[in-house]
Structure 1
Amino acid sequence: MSRRSLMGALAAGVGTLAAPRASSGSRPKVVVIGGGSGGATAARYIAHDSAAEIEVTLIEPTRQYYTCYFSNLYIAGFWDYDDLAHGYGRLAARNGINVVHDWAVAVDREARQVRLAGGSALPYDRLVISPGIDFVEDSVPGWSVAAQNAMPHAYRAGSQTRLLRDQLMEMREGGVFCLVAPPHPYRCPPGPYERICMVAHLLKQRNPKAKILLVDPKPGFPKQALFEEAWQRHYGGMIERIGPESGSSTISVDPDTMTVDIDGHSETVDVCNVIPAQKAGHIAEVAGLTDDSGWAPVHPGDMTSRRDTAIHVLGDAADQGDMPKSGFAANSQAKVAANAICHALLGQRAFPARYMNTCWSLLGPEDGVKVGAVYEPKDGRIRTVDSFISTRDEDAQTRQATFRESVDWYHAITTDMFS
C-alpha cells in the first residue's frame, strides 16, 4: 500500500500502522491475514528475510493481541491479564510492515485481491491466511455464539478469558463449575484439561467446597495419565470427569436455566465453560479453501493451499497432518512458508521443510509437563519423525524446570512474533 492509500484507509476509519518505507510499487506484494502466532511470524520473517524487497501488509482487526496460550494461567491467578497482551507497533516499525487494523471479508483468488470491511482492496502476489478458529454452530445443542456471555468459551483470548475468570471469582460457595470439552481436532493450548487444573487451583484457594464437572465427548485425550494423576494429587475430590464410557454420549446445555443435560440427566451449574467443536477461521471458508471437514487442506512442504498454491494457510486453520493446533506449531509453519515465499518471489534459497512443536501444561504451582515432536513432509502430509512426553515419575525439580522452560518459551515466541 502507498502512503496515500494508507492515509485514505485512515480517513475511512481503518486503523493502520504505516511502515516507515513507502512502497515503490514495483516490489512483490504479500498480504497476511491474521496477526497471531502464524500470521505475525510469517509477516516478520518475510519482511526481514527479503531485506524489504517484498512489500508485506498484515491485516489484523485488533490493536492488542491476547495469546490463548498461557491464558489458563491468568484464570488461575498466576499471571495478570496484561501479561497476555501484545501490540503491533514494534513489528511494523522495525520490519517495514504495513499493519492494517481491519477485517478481511473476501478473497478474490482470480484477481488476487483481499477485500476489507473498510472498503479497500489489497492486491497480492502471495497470500498468507492464518485466521485461527471458528466454532461449529449446534455442535453443543443449546449453545451458540449468542450465548457466549452466559456460557463463555474463552477459546479466543481477551474479553472471553476475563469473563470466565470473573464468573469463577463470583461463583457461590460450594457451587458447580462445568467444562464441556470439545471433540477432536481442537485448538490446544489453551488446553481444556490444563484449564481444569487452573480452575481447580483458583477454587481450591477461594472456594474449596466447589465441585468441578468435566463433560467430555472423547474416550481419551493427550497426556491423560499425567492430568488424572495431578487431579488426585493436587485437587483430590474436586474433579469428576464424565466421558462417553460413563454417560456423555449426548450433551446439551440451556444457558437460560444454567443447566447441562448429560444423557437425559440434568445438572444445574453455576459457571459453564462450553468449548464447542471447531473449524477454520471464517475467511478461509469464504476464500474457498476449506473442505467438508471444515479445515483447509495444505501441501506439507510449504503450507500452500491444495485449492490455490498462491495462498499459504497456517496454524489452527490448516489440515496438514500430525501437528497439533498450537501456537508453537503455527510459528514453526510460518517460518517454512516465509522461506517458500522468499524463494518463489525472489529466488532465494529454499530449505527442506522441517517442523517442531512442544505443548506445555501447568498442573499445579510450578508443576509443569510437556509433550512435543519433530515433523517432516511424508506421503502428502506432515508426519511425526520423533517425539517425547513427560512421565508420571518425574521429581519436583524436573517439573519445576519444565514449567520455567515454558515461561522462557512464551517470552521467546512473543518476541519472535512482535519484534
Structure 2
Amino acid sequence: MTDWTRRRVCALAGGALMAAVAPHVARGRSRPRVVVIGGGIGGATVARYLAGLKTLDVTLIEPKPNHVTCFFSNLYLAGLRSLASLTFGFEALAERHGVTMIQKAATAIDPASSTVELQSGERLTYDRLVLAPGIAFNFGEIGGYDEAAAKIMPHAWNAGPQSEVLRRQLESMEDGGVFVIAAPANPFRCPPAPYERASLVAYYFKQFKPKSKILILDAKDQFSGQELFQDAWSRHYPGMIEWLPAQFIGRTKAVHAATCSVVTENQTFKAAVANVIPPQKAGLIAERAGLTDSTGWCPVDPATFESTLQPGIHVVGDAIVGGDMPKSAFSANSQAKACAFAIAASLTGSPHFPPRLFNSCYTFLAPDDAFTNAITFAPEDGSIRTIKMFISKVGESADVRRRTAHQAVGWYSAFTADVFG
C-alpha cells in the first residue's frame, strides 16, 4: 500500500480524535452509554472510535455474526474474489477495542425514555443513540417484485446470500443469453455500482460466454461516471453492453418472475438472468422511530449527524439525507468519525470543531482498469456541500489505470482494517 493510499484511508485522522478528546474525560463521572444499532461500515466505525476513548460504555447491536462488504462484491460476481475475502467479523471490535457486542435485532426505539428494545424483549438505556440502519427496499414501487421474487430475480444490493444467488445464475446461464440490470433512480446506495457490475460481468462473459449480452434498463437519463464507463465499454466490451436511459424506455414498472421479464413504461424485456435493483429508503427501524421525512431518508445536522427530528439520536451512512455526499462506504466511515467526535464532545465536554468529510472510491472497469475519485465536503447552510474534487479522466494511460486497480486492493485492505480492527 502506498503512502498516498494510506493517507486517503486515514483522511479523518481517527487517532487525532482520541487525542483531542482524552484530556477532557475521566473527571470522576460514571461512564456514559452510547448504543449503536447496525454493524455495517458506519455503525462499526462509530463503535470502534468511541470505544477507543476508554471512557464511554459502547454497545453495538447487530444480529448478523459478520458483515459482507457491498463494495468489491461485483468482483465476486466476476469470479475475481471469494465471498470469504469480503467477510468480516466483529471479534476485534469486542476483544481489542472493548465494544460490547449484542448479536440480536433491535426492534423498537423509545426516544422519550431513551431506550432500545431488542427482539428478545430486553431493553437497553442510552445517553446517546447512533443508528446506522443502512437501506430498505421500496418493493411496492415495482409491481410483482417482492422478497419472493428477489430470490428469482436477485437485487444483490446487500452482499451475501443474494450475491451467491446472482453468481450461480450467471454461471448457469447459456452462452448467448441476455443479462438485464434494472437500475434505480437516485438516490440509492453506491451510484456507480450498477455500471461497475455491468463492466465486471461483461469481463466474465468475455472469458466464458462471449455471445452473451448485457442490457441496462435505467430509471435515469445519466449516471455517475458515465463517460468513464462508456469509454471502457467501447474499449473492453464492444457490442456487449447496451444502456437504455429513462427517456427511451421509462422507469421499470413491473416484473414477471415466472418468465424472468422486466416491464418498463414502454416495453417488456425478457432476460436469461435479471438483476432488479429496486428503489431504496432508510432502514426500517429508522422509519419506525420517526427519523425519516417524506423522502424516506433521515435528515440530520451535517455537523454532528444528530437527527433533526429526534434529538439525542444520531444517524450515519446510507440512511441519511446527505446533500452532495453520495451513499457509499467511505462516506459512511467519514460521517461516523465526525459523529463520534460530536458525541464525545457532548458527553465529555471536549471541544467540537466543524468536520471535514471525505469520500474516496475505486471503481473497476476490468481487472486491470479502474478509476477513482477523492472528494472533500463540509457542512454549509444546513447541508453537506462539495469543497474539492478529484476524479479520473477519460484517456488516462493503461499504466495509470493498472496502478489505480492495484491501489484499490491496498485501499480495500486498509479501509476494512480501519473499520473492523
TM normalised by structure 1 equals 0.92
Output one character per residue of 1:217-245: Cα deviation in whole Å (capped at 9) or x when no partner.
Answer: 10001110110111111111111111123
Q: Which amino acid aligns with 1:54?
A: L
Confirm or deny: 8 A CA contact 1:69 1:190 kept in the other structure. no
The 1-side partners of 2:64 and 2:96 are apart by 19
Q: Which amino acid aligns with 1:306?
A: T
Counterpart of 2:111 (choices 109, 112, 119) is 109
Which residue does the alignment assign to 1:157? 159
SS of corresponding position for 1:95: coil
Residue pairs, 1:9-408, within 5 angstroms: 26-48=30-52, 50=53, 52-188=54-190, 191-249=193-251, 251-408=253-410
The 1-side partners of 2:410 and 2:112 are apart by 43
Output one character per residue of 1:174-222: Cα deviation in whole Å (capped at 9) or x when no partner.
Answer: 1111000011001006710100001111111111101111100100011
Shift of 1:258: 1.0
SS of corresponding position for 2:216: strand
SS of corresponding position for 1:352: coil
Confirm or deny: 8 A CA contact 1:133 1:278 kept in the other structure. yes
The 2-side partners of 1:331 and 1:276 are apart by 24
- Alpha-carbon distance change, 210 to 348 in structure 1, aligned in 2, over 3 angstroms: same
The 2-side partners of 1:67 and 1:363 are apart by 19
SS of corresponding position for 1:339: helix
Q: Which amino acid aligns with 1:44?
A: R
Shift of 1:159: 0.5
Output one character per residue of 1:361-408: Cα deviation in whole Å (capped at 9) or x when no partner.
Answer: 100121011223100010000110111111111001111121122221
Which residue does the alignment assign to 1:7? none
The 2-side partners of 1:198 and 1:76 are apart by 6
The 2-side partners of 1:249 and 1:309 are apart by 37
Shift of 1:348: 2.0
Aligned residue pairs, count: 394
Confirm or deny: 8 A CA contact 2:250 2:266 kept in the other structure. no
The 2-side partners of 1:255 and 1:314 are apart by 34
Shift of 1:250: 5.1
Shift of 1:352: 2.2
Confirm or deny: 8 A CA contact 1:68 1:190 kept in the other structure. no
Q: Which amino acid aligns with 2:270?
A: T
- Alpha-carbon distance change, 147 to 300 in structure 1, aligned in 2, over 3 angstroms: same
Identity score, percent: 48
Residue 420 of structure 2 is aligned to residue 418 of structure 1: yes
The 2-side partners of 1:235 and 1:311 are apart by 47
Which residue does the alignment assign to 2:18? none
Structure 1 residue runs of 4 or more that deviate by more than 4 Å after TM superposition = none
Confirm or deny: 8 A CA contact 1:46 1:54 kept in the other structure. yes
The 2-side partners of 1:76 and 1:63 are apart by 26
- Alpha-carbon distance change, 25 to 87 in structure 1, aligned in 2, over 3 angstroms: farther
Q: Which amino acid aligns with 2:211?
A: K
Shift of 1:251: 3.7
Shift of 1:346: 1.1
Unaligned stretches of 5+ residues in structure 2: 1-27
SS of corresponding position for 1:179: strand
Output one character per residue of 1:3-23: Cα deviation in whole Å (capped at 9) or x when no partner.
Answer: xxxxxxxxxxxxxxxxxxxxx
Between 203-212 and 106-115, the greater mean CA deviation after superposition: 203-212
Confirm or deny: 8 A CA contact 1:70 1:190 kept in the other structure. no
- Alpha-carbon distance change, 418 to 393 in structure 1, aligned in 2, over 3 angstroms: same
The 2-side partners of 1:365 and 1:344 are apart by 45
Confirm or deny: 8 A CA contact 2:249 2:266 kept in the other structure. no
Confirm or deny: 8 A CA contact 2:297 2:319 kept in the other structure. yes
Confirm or deny: 8 A CA contact 1:71 1:190 kept in the other structure. no
- Alpha-carbon distance change, 99 to 63 in structure 1, aligned in 2, over 3 angstroms: same
The 2-side partners of 1:105 and 1:190 are apart by 32
**How large is the RMSD of aligned CA atoms in angstroms?**
1.5
The 2-side partners of 1:93 and 1:348 are apart by 27
The 1-side partners of 2:392 and 2:127 are apart by 43
Shift of 1:140: 2.1
SS of corresponding position for 1:318: coil
Between 303-312 and 65-74, the greater mean CA deviation after superposition: 303-312
TM normalised by structure 2 equals 0.91
Q: Which amino acid aligns with 1:28?
A: P
SS of corresponding position for 1:221: coil
The 2-side partners of 1:79 and 1:267 are apart by 30
Confirm or deny: 8 A CA contact 2:217 2:252 kept in the other structure. no
Confirm or deny: 8 A CA contact 1:69 1:189 kept in the other structure. no
- Alpha-carbon distance change, 158 to 25 in structure 1, aligned in 2, over 3 angstroms: farther
Q: Which amino acid aligns with 2:374?
A: G
Q: Which amino acid aligns with 1:340?
A: A
Q: Which amino acid aligns with 1:376?
A: A
Q: Which amino acid aligns with 2:397?
A: D
Q: Which amino acid aligns with 1:276?
A: P
Shift of 1:264: 4.2
